Amino acid sequence: MYSIEVNSLSKSYGNFIAVDGIDLKVESGKIFGFLGPNGAGKTTTIKLLTTLIPPSSGKMNILGIDGVKSPLEVRKRIGVVLQQPSYEPTLSVEKSLEKYGMMWNVDAKTRKVRVEELLVAFDLADIRKKKNDDLSIGQRRRVQVSREFMHDMDLLFLDEPTVGLDPSARRGLLDYIKSRVRDGLTVFFTTHILEEAEYLCDKIAIINRGKIIAVDTPEVLKSKFGRKKTIKIHLDKRQDISSLFGAIPGCIIEHDSDTVVTIHSDQSEKVLQNVLQILASNGISVEDLSVVPTSLEEIFLSVVKNSNESNNSSGK
């Protein structure tokens, strides 16, 4: 079952195409990551899926509802936290949560319980009486995200929700999202922090220039695009040994410092054997040697780069 089904969805502003005929399926009860560089079309896509703006063309089915024909029905069942800051300057933290519950017609007894739960879950209890205007950027962001959980929803859109959060608060938020997904919530999540996507998301789509260029699980993306691995060599003493590896085929060598050499290759096992043989035959002592798989961030940058090169080539 899918919470989001999109076919040939597009949004244009004059001659500028912000979202260019995307197809998308988001499985219910999962966390779907949506990644892309600045200006790729992420926020426009979220505004389309949340019915804040109408598409120029295409179809979208949100929670079994035609999002083009019945946008108000969609809005009743979703939650949205946009990238832009949103807070009530004169209200206290707990009053902000209370007000949000009232806006969604949550009964008084339920509101009271949820306020207390969210104050604890988002580490806001100690500042519950503080006005939003007196909070730090990170504290305001925690209030902005937490208040969305005051109402019942089947699908939550989070656009860069961890902006301004310290590492501890960020991990706490991600873990809370995971706990709500275990209860059946579906989450559509955008982030610039690739570690977050890898930690949180069941499936990831990468968008660039309005087009989706890759969709799969983090593991499959790594397997498909992450064949290249990194060999790091830490030497015991300063010496330039990069020239010794010049004859090894299929690798890129970087001399990071006087004691560190980095080798990139998609044939890491063969290259590693050659490296070890060269080190031994030249009597070079090594403090540490490691083979590091390609990270999701490296895959993201590679996929976007290839997409840009392909677009530039076809445009000539």
Same domain, 242 and 270: yes
Decide which of 315 and 181 is more confident: 181
pLDDT tens digit sequence for 234-278: 887 777 676 777 778 777 777 666 778 888 777 777 888 888 888
Beta pairing class for 155-159 and 186-190: parallel
Please indicate, yes or no, whether residues 249 and 213 belong to a single structural domain of this protein: no
Residues 113 and 238 in one domain: no
Work out the burial of residue 82: count CB atoms within 10 Å of its CB; fewer than 13 is exposed, 13-18 middle, 19 or more buried.
Answer: middle
> Is there a domain that residue 16 lies in?
yes
Beta strands in 160-221 (DSSP E): 186-190, 203-208, 211-216
146 and 249 both lie in a single domain = no
Do residues 254 and 261 touch, judged by C-beta distance below 8 A?
yes
Structural domain boundaries enclosing 286: 227-293
110 part of a folded domain: yes
Q: Are 164 and 15 contained in the same domain? A: yes
Mark whether 273 and 149 lie in a shared domain. no
148 and 123 together in one domain: yes
Q: Are 212 and 9 in contact (CB under 8 A)?
A: no
Q: Which 8-state DSSP code applies to residue 6?
A: E
SS3 of the chain: helix, strand, coil, percent, to 5? 40, 30, 30
Q: Which two tokens mark 280? A: 């031994």
**CATH (domain of 240):** 3.30.70.1560
Q: Same domain, yes or no, for 231 and 283?
A: yes
276 and 147 belong to one structural domain: no
| CATH value at residue 149 | 3.40.50.300
Domain match, 206 and 236 both? no
Q: Between 119 and 315, whose confidence is greater?
A: 119
305 found inside a domain: no
Q: Which of 186, 217, 248 is the last residue of a domain?
A: 217
Check: pTM over 0.85? Answer yes or no.
no
Q: What is the mean pLDDT of residues 148-166?
A: 94
Q: Are 233 and 248 in contact (CB under 8 A)?
A: no
Confidence of residue 111 (pLDDT cuts 50, 70, 90): very high
Q: How many domains does the chain have?
A: 2
Asked if residue 93 and residue 193 are part of one domain, the reply reads yes
Evaluate whether residue 53 is within a structural domain. yes
Q: Are residues 162 and 280 in the same domain?
A: no
Say whether pLDDT at 314 is over 70: no
Instruction: Give 38-80 pLDDT, tens digit per residue.
Output: 888 999 999 999 999 999 999 999 999 999 999 999 999 999 9
Model confidence at 316: pLDDT above 60: no
Half-sphere exposure of 53 (CA within 13 A, CB side): 16
Pick from 217, 240, 267: which residue ends a domain? 217
Average pLDDT, the chain: 89
pLDDT class of 305 with cuts at 50, 70, 90? confident
pLDDT of 121 > 90? The answer is: yes
Whether residue 28 is predicted with pLDDT greater than 90 in this model: the reply is yes
Of the candidates 197, 217, 237, which is a domain's last residue?
A: 217
